Amino acid sequence: MALIGVSYSVAAFPQMAKLFAQGEQAAFMSYTREALRHILFWSIPIATLFVVLRAHIVRVILGSGNFSWDDTRLTAAALAIFAIAVVCQSVVQLLDRAYYATGETRTPVVAKIGSAVIAAGLGLLSPWLIEAWPRALDTFALLLRIPNIVGAEILLLPLVFTLAAALNMGYLWWKFATTLRASLWIDVDRTLRESLLASLVMGLTTYVALTLSAGHFDLSHTLTVFLAALFAGVAGMGAGVLVLVHVKSREFSEIAQATHRRLRRILPMLPGPEDLP
């Protein structure tokens, strides 16, 4: 998932730096928003799949040998929390390079140091927080469907990391918009709504597919666990694509057109009837 933010931000950096150096701030902001739209378009649905399929992913990779079912559930819950953090980190990757393109390197460093201090501080305070609000931990574990599992308090670490990543993203977003006096929300809010809607439908479809197919797959073997996750994931992605087509997603249309152009260059063109002897 992190490759999404890294790939888009690295690819966008040269053009962002060029536009800002030429004094074309409007074009610079438009290009930054375009990269941000595509990062959100990809990262939110993928994070949703990771959340819904978390147990299957962990079981395929680690769920064997001495790795117990409780260990699998705890790791799956941590994976779900980290998936949310990666969405924030992907946006941070782009905003960092947008700052670098403007020649401002101090703000990203300050944001990272601040978020690291917050994460470390909350991590050190986590034992006290557990003692002070034990019911909060129980509720949190219940939401992640791991009630009454020993060691659930370890999930405070990925939770703290995710909170720090969200604060880092929020600060960079706010500071970037106020410094350049231009909003990042133009067109991005539409992409965010469409991506969230498609992710919701995709997540629900994936969950229903997992539930309906549970009796048809022997989940005691790695291969069948993988096939069950693959079946549910494909069903969910199909539903998500239908939603994106229905709402006429701009990003989906751009990707479909780019894929079509690339395939036309790769695949040979067949002769038409008028070209046949």
Q: Is residue 273 part of a domain?
A: no
Q: What pLDDT does 272 receive?
A: 46
CA dist., res. 31 & res. 24, Å (int): 11
Specify if 105 maps to a domain: yes
What tens digit of pLDDT does each residue of 59-103 get? 888 865 567 888 888 999 999 999 999 999 999 999 999 999 999
**Percentage of residues in the chain having pLDDT higher than 70:** 94
Residue 217 is assigned to a structural domain of this protein: yes
Q: 273: pLDDT confidence band, cut at 50, 70 and 90? A: very low
- Answer for the pair 100, 108: CB distance below 8 angstroms, yes or no: yes
Task: Give the range of the structural domain holding residue 188, as residue numbers without chain letter.
Answer: 2-267
Contacts by 215-222, CB closer than 8 A, 24 or more apart: 219/59, 222/59, 222/60, 222/63, 222/64
Distance of CA 148 to the CA centre of its chain: 29
In a domain, 277, yes or no: no
- For the entire predicted model, the pTM comes to 0.87
Residue 29 has pLDDT above 90, yes or no: yes
Domain count, the chain: 1
- Confidence check: pLDDT of 232 > 90: yes
What confidence tens digit (pLDDT) does each residue in 119-149 have?
Answer: 999 888 888 888 888 788 888 888 888 888 8
pLDDT digits (tens, 9 = 90+) for 242-268: 999 999 999 899 888 888 788 777 755
Is residue 80 one of the residues assigned to a domain? yes
Report if residue 187 sits inside a domain: yes
Residue 140, domain member (yes or no): yes
Residue 209 forms part of a structural domain:
yes
